Structure 1
Amino acid sequence: MLLMLIAGAAITLMMLQVTADVAGKYLFRQPVPATFEMVEDYYMLMLVFLPFAYVARTERHIFVELFTSKLSPRALAALEAAVGLLTLAWVVLLAWYSGEEAVAMTVERELREISGGYLFIWPARWAVPLGCAAMALVVLNQLLKDFNAAIRRR
């Protein structure tokens, strides 16, 4: 839930900054510096990756039941467990490799040149491994429930 609050704050800040940028540009001929870079390097990463765990926990992702609607509860639970294993493997790998990149960019103090200075972008690199690691925990929990259901259902 904390990650969703951070993502919500990010979308609110993005909205305010973009509005201020447009208003400043057209009313005062002075846009807010680094708006494009902040949206691209910070806000979008937070909006995409931080809600992963919440979406997985609330099962708000897209389901297509075309082939699964006729499955027995046990077969459906087994299928969901298999998909859960694949999902877990994917998000763990994504968390691991993006975490390695985040560490490397943190050590390097990655920055981006903007008009009038520099913008540190290494902190934003942590949104990807953080969101994926949180999703991995949620998927692992659901996977254990699915395996249990597949074993017990008939």
Structure 2
Amino acid sequence: MKPSLAVLTNAYYAFYDLHRRAYHAYAAAHLPSEEAQIATSKLFETVASTWTSVVAERRPSAWAWQRFTQTVARRSGRTSTAVEDTHLLHHKLLLSIDQIATVTGDEPATVCARLAAARREQTLDRTFPAPVSVPAAPVSVPVPAREFAPVAVRDPLEDAIDAARQGLAGE
């Protein structure tokens, strides 16, 4: 059974409403205002034009996020790492772990691991402000206490996407 046009349309608008603000904020952190708006609009045009393929992806949010970060990197001239992106989303754009997982298509545990890696990198940057050679004795780097526990949360968009996938699988 093919998903109805109404189901696909509603799923797309749910995706758009859920992701647009975070995508634009991310782009605005890397690009001038007008460029950020263009990058965000272009991404959603791409998603809309290929929506039936996007919902057939295992993780539609991850598919869109990957293309979006590539577009922003191309426009800004700088590629950031997943750890840097996660740090930006959490500490500068003030998204929760669950919101970051929803926007990027990653598991909350992956988001937690990236935030921990960012904290470690910051600790190392403060400990070793200048490039250093290999120390004669091992260096002990303090690891901050865990501030949160990952929680499995179902993406609110998952039900609409699952319905669309079931319809596509029945073709």
Q: Would the TM-score normalized by the shorter structure come out above 0.5?
A: no
TM-score, length basis structure 2: 0.28
Larger Rg belongs to = 1
TM-score, length basis structure 1: 0.30
Greater per-residue helix proportion: 1
